[in-house]
A and B are shown apart, each in its own frame.
Chain A
Amino acid sequence: MSAAKNVKRVPTLCYNCVSGPDFMKVKVEDGIATEIEPNFDAQDVHPAHGRVCVKAYGLVQKTYNPNRILTPMKRTNPKKGRDEDPLFAPISWDEALDIVAARLKSIRAKGQVDESGLPRLAVSFGHGGTPANYMGSFPAFLAAWGPIDYSFGSGQGVKCVHSEHLYGEFWHRAFTVAADTPNTRYIISLGANVEVTGGPCAVTRHADARVRGYKRVHVEPHLSITGACSAEWVPIRPKTDPAFLFALIHVLLHEHGLAKLDIAFLRDRTASPYLVGPDGLYLRDFVSGKPLAWDEATGQAVAFDTPGIVLAVDGRYRVAKAATVDADAARCEYSNVEGATAYRMLVDHVARYTPEWAAGICDVPAATIRRIAGEYLEAASIGATIEIDGKTLAFRPVAVTLGKSVNNGWGAFECCWSRTVLAALVGALESPGGTLGTTVRVNRPQDNRHLSVKPGEDGFMAQHFNPTGSNSWRPVPETRNLHSTLVPIVGRNGGWSQALGPTQLAWMFQENTPADWTMPKPTYPEMWIVYRSNPSISFWESRRLVDAAARFPFMVAFAYTVDETNYMADLLLPEASDLESTQVIRMGATKYMEQFWDCHGVVLRQAAVAPQGEARDFTWITTELAKRTGLLPEYIAALNRGIAGVSALKGKDYDYSLDPATPPEPDQIWDSVCRAATMTLSDGKEEHGLDWYKEHGFYAVPTSRLEWYLTPTMEKQGLRYELPYQERLLRIGRELGNRLHEQKMHWWDEQLSEYVALPVWDNVPARWERELVNSGARIEDFPFWLLTTKSMQYHAGGNAAIAMMHEISENVRGNTGVIINADTAAELGIAEGDRVEVRSHVGATYGKASLTQGMRPDTLVIVGQFDHWATPFAKDTERASLNTIAPMSLELTDATGSGADIVRVAVRRMARGAA
């Protein structure tokens, strides 16, 4: 090996999945990136001690991959389709940017919204918002533009942990939910593969917890990585998780009883004492309209917030005079009416959900369910306290965590509700050791969920639902996924609300709308910009999606390699990749997954090496687009507001504002961002520019662990978590139904059934079976459930073209094939490594059989998102994919707009030697 002349180690970060950022250094020898190493300079600020996960080690190959797009390319074949070679031809940056700018200016001239009320410009980003950490100043350009449609999902919005996002924010400002792993003692994990998806912070913390002696029970149809690392694996029947959770609640309420629960938490922090009338609505004070509760001191019903009262948590009480308020403010008045507390309603509701009942549904023994519930209650240590930063808090070291396909799609509302109720029953909701939310995205401000908590109606947090009132509902959708029209709970707070709408509806309704659709016909976006996203692989029924994308008039893709989505592009723009470009982002405090830190601050991703070929820094591209589109002043104004940075570039102690008339160089932008961020974080005491960050990498200030827990904030404002009884959701669902029916539309009626005060078991798996039958197929022809799971090496699949990831992922059982129970395989004559066909009623996918005992006999699992046909390298790996054969279906769309990665399939061995 030749001696290197010049060796340096460049501090930077990895944010390839949402569980970041993580710290690393790039070893650069004579200008060439050669190695990835941890950054131990950050070991005291980073919960994973300055380490990155396996994916980061692939970034050197990502940089030098010979399959990269390294010059702007223009499509020369006007025909689009999977069978149409795009015949991309190299062009100059000048030509490429002029083409985009001309299109954008043309759109602005016509108006940014078309005749159907939909934005003419659509933009799609990939996995969980991570592209924002790589797109430099592009968010400032988007802010400068105006209306944009983020409807066309690549998986986010419907295949993410969707119901958890929406209901999590509703109940406890928890876009993502985690156990307080550093403090917890007992976790019931339903499909939450946190060792795979939680990043180094979660892996480090759960390893510490295992050695410390916590117990985790993992409930999932197959023995995943997290199942393997848990004390107990419970192989539940797919999609029956609500029944399991209902039975846990039953055991707590009926076999242990209120006296053993956290009565104070239920009384003071939840709606348990609110009285519910015979029509299922809160009994309200006749005059003030406030919910009534029973005061044990005076023996009468009073408004819940009457000072000095002692509220009854359980019971039925007779109320002399009360009113209820239904959808559209329909008021009903009662005298001498009986009201049951919300807690009593819950107790009565779950009476039927015994462990014995659940056992028949979940295929989990009743004794196991009963034991787990008992262990959970005992570990909750009700009455215990802990001191954190001088404040004494309740210590409730138990948590329930949910994973993908448990917390999205039909049945997910029930699971999310159950998980939150289980936490509330023992006082573990947002308490040390318990179940925490870690970030907000559909509420603001996004960097501090505590500040998003404001007093709202009925003693709960203020919510920002899309309106459902007769005068406020939007009968004309403002986006192609109808987020503000169909999904009240997703809100309308900018890009995240849009992106979390029912994104498969955007794809499906480009083809056909339901028969009784009375809204304006959906239109194609005139321009679609795609970055770090490949929906033609990552969405359901991916080949059908390709056909839809091929009909879009004009597509611009920021492109790493050719892939299955940008195969339909008109223009490919090569951006400088992870190790080649610069950006400053936030770190720490509380973010996605288990990213709750003891500090917060900013960290720099910097160009460790020069970009390959003609690839350009995203911020340079953005500034050029702003300039050529005539949006420079608006773009720089957005930068000055802090849109692409961490804080505004002008504060009370500083002014690093950029001149609106002068196109700034990328380093000039980031220098201002660095200085503004440091001044903000240090309260004006320190100022560090880009050069300082290039040397030191990050700047951190301490965060109190009190920031991890929302309950003290709720307590301070005298607010209650809006459960266990979902009166507001019931009313909103009825209102939404009224609006749709007024428009003579009934195609969303099944989804309206999810708006209930207390969720019921409605045989969730049967929904998939009915869809199959309604499509003309026979259940008996598809005897297995097919699920998917993630892999740390690939995670969301953005690095499927990296050779080293492919090589080392093969060390992990099942990563390269179709995972099947070994005994089932033997019955079918399938041996390890045999090529198999997995067929659903919408298609077939092919891969190698991977036999295991750690799998239910009635279930198959395919890891990740593959079946590439255009992406170089990945297309030669011959990996099967659930996405190819799982249907996009209105019938399989729940009320939040999400679906789940599950489908009925048949499996068979292909003939020996079959290609």
Chain B
Amino acid sequence: MSTRFAMAIDLRRCVGCQTCTAACKSANATPPGVQWRRVLDIEDGRFPDVSRTFLPVACMHCANPPCMHVCPTTATKQREDGLVTIDYDLCIGCSNCIMACPYDARSIEHTPHYAYGEPMQSETARFDPDRLSVATKCTFCKDRLDLAAVTGQTPGVDPEVTPACVNSCISGAMHFGDVNDPDSNISMLLGGTQHFRMHEELGTDPSVYYIWDGAKNGADA
């Protein structure tokens, strides 16, 4: 079976610290206001019976991606390994994909934005004009995955070829790997835990799995 890269996020561990959000911005040089990844802070119930859940979200790299189906230029594509990609040369910035994505995972910036108005050296060094007026989103750090094919390293095991967010996670909530490989770390983890995928009912077949305890998030066993 061909590789399908997937992410597993253990909600029992996540503390909503936004370290993955920051690491993603650091690794991908996204401009202010653009977050390819973030952690939602969700409240449920009424005082005093209230729960608060932290839910990391980003592109789900769906096997059946609504964004791809509505793309008029075929800029959004799907790779053999499951990654949903955007070809900036083909994207016309029409926003169809943004409206179609049920996960609110995509952004478009039409003008450069910098943290303090004028660009800092670190921003100038990494500014990419190709990202203006096109849809952008989480790539699963595809350059790293492509490097794995060259080096023979294993995504999800070797940090050099693992998405930045997964590497950064201080609670150890985030895992990555080939979900079609029954011996991969992620397959073994999912095999021993309860999990769900977001909006599965939409038929998107997302590649992000959320591990939970099946009851109240964070509760003791």
The segment from B12-20, B68-76, B147-155, B202-210 found at the interface with A is B12-20
Q: Is the CB of A32 within 8 A of B121?
A: yes
Chain B proximity of A644: nearest CB distance (Å): 30
Q: Is the CB of B15 within 8 A of A235?
A: no
CB within 8 Å of A: which B104-131 residues? 115-118, 120-123, 125-128, 130
**A256 on the B face (CB < 8 A):** no
Chain B proximity of A222: nearest CB distance (Å): 10
Q: How far is the CA of A855 from the CA of B126 in the complex (A)?
A: 43
Residues of A contacting B221 in the complex (Cβ-Cβ under 8 angstroms):
213
Q: How far is the CA of A65 from the CA of B196 in the complex (A)?
A: 42
Q: How far is the CA of A57 from the CA of B30 in the complex (A)?
A: 13
The listed residue (B45, B170, B220) touching A213 by CB distance below 8 A is B220
- Nearest CB to that of B20 among chain A residues? A54
Chain B proximity of A901: nearest CB distance (Å): 22
Chain B proximity of A620: nearest CB distance (Å): 23
Q: Is the CB of A200 within 8 A of B170?
A: yes
Q: Is the CB of B220 within 8 A of A66?
A: no
CB within 8 Å of B: which A24-44 residues? 29-30, 32-38, 40
Q: How far is the CA of A64 from the CA of B54 in the complex (A)?
A: 32
**B198 on the A face (CB < 8 A):** no
Say whether, besides A57-B26, A808-B38, A34 and B10 are in contact (CB < 8 Å). no
Q: Is the CB of B52 within 8 A of A228?
A: yes
Q: How far is the CA of A873 from the CA of B32 in the complex (A)?
A: 14
Q: Is the CB of A853 within 8 A of B127?
A: no
Against B, the Cβ 8 Å flags (1 = close, 0 = not) of A817-855 are 000010100000000000000000000000000001111
Q: How far is the CA of A49 from the CA of B216 in the complex (A)?
A: 28
**B100 on the A face (CB < 8 A):** no
Residues of A contacting B118 in the complex (Cβ-Cβ under 8 angstroms):
66
**A143 on the B face (CB < 8 A):** no
CB within 8 Å of A: which B31-56 residues? 32-33, 35, 38-41, 43, 45-48, 50-54
Q: Is the CB of A811 within 8 A of B15?
A: no
Q: Is the CB of B41 within 8 A of A54?
A: no
Q: Is the interface of A mostly helix, strand, loop or mixed?
A: mixed
The listed residue (A4, A40, A203, A225) touching B170 by CB distance below 8 A is A203
**B168 on the A face (CB < 8 A):** yes
- Nearest CB to that of A2 among chain B residues? B125
Q: Is the CB of B170 within 8 A of A811?
A: no
The listed residue (A30, A38, A214) touching B167 by CB distance below 8 A is A38
**B92 on the A face (CB < 8 A):** no
Say whether, besides A64-B120, A823-B47, A204 and B171 are in contact (CB < 8 Å). yes
Q: How far is the CA of A763 from the CA of B62 in the complex (A)?
A: 58
Q: Is the CB of B32 within 8 A of A813?
A: no
Q: Is the CB of B218 within 8 A of A210?
A: yes
Q: Is the CB of A857 within 8 A of B47?
A: yes
Q: How far is the CA of A792 from the CA of B15 in the complex (A)?
A: 10
Q: Is the CB of B171 within 8 A of A207?
A: yes
The listed residue (A67, A228, A793, A853) touching B218 by CB distance below 8 A is A228
Chain A proximity of B162: nearest CB distance (Å): 10
- Nearest CB to that of A793 among chain B residues? B18
Q: Is the CB of B116 within 8 A of A67?
A: yes
**B173 on the A face (CB < 8 A):** yes
Q: How far is the CA of A813 from the CA of B16 in the complex (A)?
A: 10
The listed residue (A37, A813, A873) touching B116 by CB distance below 8 A is A873
Instruction: Tally chain B residues at the interface, Cβ within 8 Å.
Output: 59
Residues of B contacting A52 in the complex (Cβ-Cβ under 8 angstroms):
19, 170
- Nearest CB to that of A63 among chain B residues? B122
Say whether, besides A235-B47, A856-B47, A54 and B15 are in contact (CB < 8 Å). no
CB within 8 Å of B: which A545-573 residues? none
Q: How far is the CA of A792 from the CA of B221 in the complex (A)?
A: 27
Q: Is the CB of A808 within 8 A of B16?
A: no
Residues of B contacting A807 in the complex (Cβ-Cβ under 8 angstroms):
32-33, 35
**B169 on the A face (CB < 8 A):** yes
Residues of B contacting A232 in the complex (Cβ-Cβ under 8 angstroms):
219
Q: How far is the CA of A853 from the CA of B12 in the complex (A)?
A: 21
CB within 8 Å of B: which A207-234 residues? 207-208, 210-211, 213-216, 223, 225, 227-233
Say whether, besides A35-B27, A38-B168, A208-B172, A853 and B45 are in contact (CB < 8 Å). yes
Q: Is the CB of B13 within 8 A of A37?
A: no
Q: Is the CB of A38 within 8 A of B122?
A: no
Q: How far is the CA of A48 from the CA of B13 in the complex (A)?
A: 13
**A809 on the B face (CB < 8 A):** yes
**A804 on the B face (CB < 8 A):** yes
Residues of A contacting B29 in the complex (Cβ-Cβ under 8 angstroms):
1, 34
Residues of B contacting A149 in the complex (Cβ-Cβ under 8 angstroms):
none
Residues of A contacting B9 in the complex (Cβ-Cβ under 8 angstroms):
none
Residues of A contacting B39 in the complex (Cβ-Cβ under 8 angstroms):
811
Say whether, besides A30-B125, A811-B39, A803 and B32 are in contact (CB < 8 Å). yes
Q: Is the CB of A64 within 8 A of B22?
A: no
Chain B proximity of A59: nearest CB distance (Å): 10
Say whether, besides A48-B170, A808-B18, A223 and B52 are in contact (CB < 8 Å). yes
Say whether, besides A230-B218, A231-B219, A57 and B54 are in contact (CB < 8 Å). no
- Nearest CB to that of A364 among chain B residues? B48
Residues of A contacting B63 in the complex (Cβ-Cβ under 8 angstroms):
none
Q: How far is the CA of A620 from the CA of B120 in the complex (A)?
A: 26
**A812 on the B face (CB < 8 A):** yes
Residues of A contacting B41 in the complex (Cβ-Cβ under 8 angstroms):
811-813
Say whether, besides A66-B118, A804-B115, A32 and B220 are in contact (CB < 8 Å). no
Chain A proximity of B98: nearest CB distance (Å): 19
Residues of B contacting A856 in the complex (Cβ-Cβ under 8 angstroms):
47
Say whether, besides A35-B26, A57-B26, A204-B170, A228 and B16 are in contact (CB < 8 Å). yes
Say whether, besides A229-B218, A807-B32, A808-B22, A195 and B17 are in contact (CB < 8 Å). yes
Q: Is the CB of A51 within 8 A of B169?
A: yes
Say whether, besides A195-B15, A211-B10, A804 and B22 are in contact (CB < 8 Å). yes
Q: Is the CB of B220 within 8 A of A853?
A: no
Residues of A contacting B126 in the complex (Cβ-Cβ under 8 angstroms):
1, 29, 34
Q: B: which residues have CB within 8 A of A?
A: 10, 12-13, 15-19, 21-23, 25-27, 29, 32-33, 35, 38-41, 43, 45-48, 50-54, 115-118, 120-123, 125-128, 130, 159, 164, 167-173, 216, 218-221
Known pairs A37-B168, A207-B173, A804-B25; list 13 more (Cβ under 8 Å).
Answer: A1-B127, A37-B23, A54-B22, A61-B120, A61-B122, A63-B122, A66-B118, A204-B171, A210-B218, A228-B16, A808-B21, A853-B50, A854-B52
What would be 20 A-B contacts, judged by CB atoms less than 8 Å apart?
A1-B29, A34-B29, A37-B167, A51-B170, A52-B170, A57-B22, A57-B168, A207-B172, A210-B13, A210-B220, A230-B218, A232-B219, A804-B25, A804-B32, A807-B32, A808-B25, A811-B41, A821-B47, A853-B50, A854-B52
8 tightest A-B contacts by CB? A228-B52, A57-B22, A64-B120, A803-B115, A207-B13, A215-B220, A200-B170, A231-B220
